[in-house]
Amino acid sequence: MRNLLKFISRYNYTITFFLLLFFSLFFVSNESFILRSFYFNSSNYLSGNFYKLQNGIISYFSLEKKNKTLIIENLKLINRIKKLESEFRSGEIDTSTFGLLNAQVINNSLNKSKNYITIDKGFKDGVRENLGVISSNGVIGKVKYVSDNFSTIISLLNTSFYLSTLVDETKTLSSINWDGKNPQKVKLLYVPKHVPLEIGYSVITSSFDSIFPKGIEIGKISNINKEINSNFYDVDILLSEDFYSIYNVYLVKSFPFEEKIVLENID
């Protein structure tokens, strides 16, 4: 103990410097999503592999639970495939316009206003910026930054993320955005009060932004507040995905996306 006190007394300025440096970097990276993402990309090898190792250890001790989850997910996917095949045969959907790439979540934040997700796939695997990300239950977010082996996703639980949507029963164009409060709910925006809405109506992707194909589930209307001083409803959507337990995700590769971006940027 005496030697420890002597060591601290001798190097107290150096120790203090490194402690202050550590806390400064910690607070800066947590306050700014852009800085945090830049830091992730500049040190992707260390942080990405650390998350991957951490996730591997956790996964090992929860294999039984994950196997049960995968069985349920596979059943949902089989049912969805059958539905898509039926729609494809009837000419209602063109499966040549998009493809899916599987990935695993190795880091996921939920307690911030601008949450992000890290996955174990990157540029080498065909991941590109702005690809949509889904699960077997619904929409997860979109890719923001990509390194060789890992990618950062803007979560649907991010106050900066807006997504074009449709109310399935009324075919009303709308948008969703998280208000930073309940991780199980988002806000449905820009639905005028003359549109008939009911609790339980489904909200799906619209395909207007070309990130997601039309019809992917987002959630269901859980609350409608008409008593506000606005021309639009105040609507809560209960998300179909539980962000506390996401593990497997799928990146949606929309083939006409780059062509559409180029065309819309022509002066």
Say if 242 falls within a structural domain: yes
Say if 237 falls within a structural domain: yes
Nearest alpha carbon to residue 172 among 201, 138, 152, 143: 201
For residue 88, what are its two tokens? 């494809």
Q: Which residues of 144-159 are buried (b: 16+ CB within 10 A; e: fewer)?
A: bbbbebbbbbbbbbbe
Q: Residue 210: what pLDDT?
A: 77
**Whole-number average pLDDT of the chain:** 79
Say if 2 falls within a structural domain: no
Q: How far apart are CA 63 and CA 110, in angstroms?
A: 23
Q: Is the pLDDT of residue 85 over 60?
A: no
Say if 68 falls within a structural domain: no
Say if 8 falls within a structural domain: no
Helix ranges (DSSP H) in the chain: 2-10, 12-31, 33-42, 44-60, 63-89, 257-264
Residue 172 belongs to what domain range?
32-61+94-255
Q: Is the pLDDT of residue 84 over 90?
A: no
For residue 251, what are its two tokens? 């990146």
Q: What pTM did the predictor assign? A: 0.68
CATH code, domain with 211: 2.40.10.340
Q: How far apart are CA 155 and CA 178, in angstroms?
A: 10
**What total of structural domains would you count in the chain?**
1
Q: What is the pLDDT of residues 127-144, one digit of tens each?
A: 999 999 998 888 999 999
Q: Which residue has the tokens 């309940």?
A: 182
Helix ranges (DSSP H) in 90-179: none
Decide if 193 contacts 170 (C-beta within 8 A): no
Q: Residue 228: what pLDDT?
A: 86
Say if 127 falls within a structural domain: yes
Say if 262 falls within a structural domain: no
For residue 227, what are its two tokens? 């008593």
Q: What is the pLDDT of residues 214-227, one digit of tens each?
A: 888 999 999 999 88
Q: Is the pLDDT of residue 157 over 90?
A: yes
Q: What is the pLDDT of residues 1-52, one digit of tens each?
A: 666 566 566 666 677 767 776 656 665 545 454 455 555 555 555 566 666 6
Q: How far apart are CA 177 and CA 187, in angstroms?
A: 5
Q: How far apart are CA 1 and CA 189, in angstroms?
A: 62
Q: Residue 158: what pLDDT?
A: 97
Q: How far apart are CA 54 and CA 117, in angstroms?
A: 15
Decide if 37 contacts 116 (C-beta within 8 A): yes
Say if 264 falls within a structural domain: no
Handedness of CA 43, 46, 51, 52 (dihedral sign): positive
β-sheet bridge partners, residue 117:
108, 153
